[in-house]
Amino acid sequence: MEQGLAVDLASGMAETAPQLQPAPSAPRRAPREDAAPIEPLWRHMLGDRLRSLRHDRGETLGETAARAGVSPQYLSEMERGAKEPSSEMIAAVAGALGVTLLDLTLGVAEGLREARPAAVQGAAGRAMLALAA
């Protein structure tokens, strides 16, 4: 271990202290081939839907954000799925885009249904059949 020079601030005396070395980073693991497919997150699908609606209207982030009463930065974070917005924020942006909260939610749910990996859809279908039996 290397030694370094440290100064005791109380006494003003210099003394030798061990130098700390950064910990080696852990190697990244490759994803397992048999790992279950990952479902998209709701906030990402919400963001995609909000951006799509805004683009359909030909609006900028600033225009939509101003009508919704949020900052353009916050709306951008919502659209990128970086924020988990409150229902009040979602309703405000939905209103600024001219859609109801119900219609927005149904659109996001449909997007999630379409984006589900096949393995997840099969498992859900099997679970429903098992419940019906």
Structure tokens at 11: 């006494």
Taking only the tens place, the pLDDT of each residue in 78-112 is 999 999 999 999 999 999 999 999 999 999 999 99
Pairing outcome for strands 14-18 and 3-7: antiparallel
Structure tokens at 91: 């309703």
**Mean pLDDT of the region 18-37:** 55
Taking only the tens place, the pLDDT of each residue in 51-77 is 999 999 999 999 999 999 999 999 999
Give the number of other Cβ atoms within 10 Å of residue 69's Cβ. 13
Give the 3-state secondary structure of residue 16.
strand
Give the 3-state secondary structure of residue 129.
helix
| 42-132 topology per CATH | 434 Repressor (Amino-terminal Domain) (1.10.260)
Please give the single-letter amino acid code of residue 81: G
Structure tokens at 86: 């409150």
Please give the single-letter amino acid code of residue 102: L
What residue has token string 């600033």? 62
| Residue 127: alpha-carbon gap to chain centroid | 28
- The whole-model pTM stands at 0.63
